[in-house]
Amino acid sequence: MTIDDENAIKDLAHRQLTAWADGDGQAFAGTFTHDADFIAANGELIQTREALALSMQEGFDGFMKGTRMSEAQHTHIRFPAPGTAVMITIGNCVLRDGATQCRTEDLSQQTRVAVRTNEGWLFTSFHNSRVRPRL
């Protein structure tokens, strides 16, 4: 894999931040494959790009209205096989009510699996959870 591949995957994640800030469920889901699996922070499993677009738009129009997703504090990308990447982001959060910094208790970590498709790099799997201190 090349630096261009790594940059393309980082760009996908940045497109998600932009779509979130714009309240655009279709654009957010457009960073995923048609058969994507998405596990939200609450444990909900959403399958397919179409279902993800609907679910995200519901959130953007409702309880997530006016929120933004912060940049991650740490990003790690590796390429375990040709055309496949794993991206782990740690230390981001949903920013509400004009906040500019994440509260410690709101920090999340995500694992995304990206694949190279005819449409370019797209995420095919996403799992979100809270950051918890090591025991």
Q: What is the pLDDT of residues 95-118, one digit of tens each?
A: 998 899 999 999 999 999 999 999
Gap between the Cα atoms of 135 and 126, Å rounded: 25
In angstroms, the CA 85 to CA 79 distance is 4
User: Pseudo-torsion of CA 32, 30, 107, 98, nearest 10°?
Assistant: 180
Instruction: Give the number of C-alpha atoms closer than 13 A to the C-alpha of residue 111, restricted to the C-beta side.
Output: 7
pLDDT attached to residue 135: 65
How do residues 27-86 score in pLDDT, each as one tens digit?
A: 999 999 999 999 998 999 999 999 999 999 999 999 999 999 999 999 999 999 999 999
pLDDT of residue 95: 94
